[in-house]
Every structure is written in structure tokens, then in C-alpha cells.
Amino acid sequence: MSVVKVIEVIAQSKKSWEDAADKAVKRASKSVDNIKSIYIDGMSGKVENGKIVTYRVNAKISFVVGKKKK
């Protein structure tokens, strides 16, 4: 039986929401092994002069606990 844990993270990017999500996974993988999925719980952005300048995601990242990284 596997145990899955979920952490919630917030990440941002100046490029896109997709890039922000990618950054969330890359950063989490520095301290968490066995990441299996990401669920985007929300998206927001900062607007200046009628343009989006910062893209933000609230993400839930799931990983298996206790399994060794290969």
C-alpha cells in the first residue's frame, strides 16, 4: 500500500501560468521525492498598465511517501 501526501505551494512567473506551474514542480522536487501529480487550485495575475506582468498559481503537489527515488 502506498501513502500519498499533498502539499500546497504558490509559484509565479513573468512568462505564463504554465511556466509558474512548472516552477512549482521544479522547486518542490528539490526537497520532495516521488512527485506524481500537480493540481492547479487557482490562478491569478498582477496587472500593470493593462498588461499581465506576473502569473501566479496555487498548486497542490502529490507525492508518494516512503518510496526511494530511482
Task: Give mean pLDDT, residues 1-21.
Answer: 95
Predicted confidence (pLDDT) per residue in 22-63, tens digit: 999 999 999 999 999 999 999 999 999 999 999 999 999 999
**pLDDT (0 to 100) of residue 25:** 97
Rounded to a whole number, what is the distance in angstroms from the first to the last CA of the chain?
18
**Domains of the chain, residue spans:** 3-65
pTM above 0.75, yes or no: yes
> What kind of fold does domain 3-65 have according to CATH?
Dodecin subunit-like (3.30.1660)
With beta carbons less than 8 A apart as the criterion, state whether 27 and 9 touch: yes
**Which has the higher per-residue pLDDT, 26 or 68?**
26
